[in-house]
Structure 1
């Protein structure tokens, strides 16, 4: 179902999945190009959660997806505020599902818990953006025009504490690791239904344990 939410900067679209009652999992896609590469994958996770009886939502955030706001106008603080308003709009006990730099966006929301897959810090994202800019030899960052204020925010941005899941082979701390490929590295959007089902199982079990 296509819904919407309002935040101080305007109105954005939000996809809803699953039952109308009970806890809801609010997804935060990675920023910029990684969002388009992982959107179908995240939708598959949310549909799998719906099959497991858990509601989900995927909000478009300012300057991302179908949002009318240009990327050069975004601020990390505003992305966090928008995610918080999307969470409140569901009217339910909410849990975050964030992938990569999406883990930087759920810090202002009232949440019962956070679940992060391969989370990326602000400095890590900043290094990647500068690499893209160097490769393009232009003023944009992989096709995105970004403000100095936004880039400065990233320098000290880090994910909030969460249940962290990583891919096999990643040596960083994690609650669990799963086999699979980093879809955000693909040149084109891709999906992995088997990995999505495995992650949906983990999220569903985690939400139920949190709910008691």
Structure 2
């Protein structure tokens, strides 16, 4: 994992979104954690099973494994308050973490993510002149290729009913998003980009909001 900030005080553990969106938002998440360090808040960015430098192949991970691994990474040490910071489908991963509170940036449900993966696969199949039947996902006995990733059928089944934690959570979204939120900020939907990118001004705004929220939680 990557570690930032002081050895005392609050800690924020980041959960990247699943699959390709993790690559697109990693630099953005790191920028936020570095900015939080400037506020005196420590940060952790763990590589969960199937992500980053993990030795577990993507098609061997599932939601239970991801949640257990994240909860272990976010295990409180001493009396330091611990918070999560989850981007998009990362909000499906932090649900079992024993932390003080959750901060979710543009969270999605598992059903949302599942639909997006299927739509992307359908589009690529049309471009290649191939046939693709989404119903085959539910009967598959081996990994299914969706949006450039091999995904276990078990994980796809789990996504159908997975939702973010609603326990002591702050939800923040982009100004352009119609869904309700505790606050909305101007910024770029980096998870939609074709390649990894960053938005330094947006990252600074998010970090400022996280820091102000943590101060409120600690009050």
Report the TM-score when normalising by structure 1.
Answer: 0.90
CA RMSD of aligned residues (A): 1.3
1:101-140 pair list within 5 angstroms: 101-137=89-125, 139-140=144-145
CA-CA distance at 1:172 after TM superposition: 1.3
In our comparison, the structure showing a higher alpha carbon Rg is 2
| Contact 1:37–1:186 (Cα < 8 Å) also in 2 | yes
CA-CA distance at 1:186 after TM superposition: 0.6
Residue 157 of structure 1 pairs with residue 162 of structure 2: yes
Q: Give the structure 1 partner of residue 46 of structure 2.
A: 59
Q: Deviations over 1:120-158 (max 9, x none)?
A: 100000001112222333751122111111100001100
Residue 38 of structure 1 pairs with residue 25 of structure 2: yes
Report the TM-score when normalising by structure 2.
Answer: 0.88
Secondary structure class of the residue paired with 1:145: strand
Q: Give the structure 2 partner of residue 5 of structure 1.
A: none
1:1-212 pair list within 5 angstroms: 14-88=1-75, 92-137=80-125, 139-161=144-166, 162-212=169-219
| Contact 2:103–2:171 (Cα < 8 Å) also in 1 | yes
CA-CA distance at 1:211 after TM superposition: 1.1
| Contact 2:76–2:99 (Cα < 8 Å) also in 1 | no
The 2-side partners of 1:51 and 1:170 are apart by 29
The 1-side partners of 2:124 and 2:177 are apart by 29
Q: Deviations over 1:173-209 (max 9, x none)?
A: 1111111110000111111110111110000011111
Secondary structure class of the residue paired with 2:95: coil
| Contact 2:76–2:82 (Cα < 8 Å) also in 1 | no
The 2-side partners of 1:114 and 1:89 are apart by 14
Q: Give the structure 1 partner of residue 129 of structure 2.
A: none
CA-CA distance at 1:102 after TM superposition: 0.3
Q: Which runs of 5+ in 2 are unaligned?
A: 126-131, 133-143
Q: Give the structure 2 partner of residue 11 of structure 1.
A: none
The 1-side partners of 2:206 and 2:77 are apart by 22
| Contact 1:104–1:158 (Cα < 8 Å) also in 2 | yes
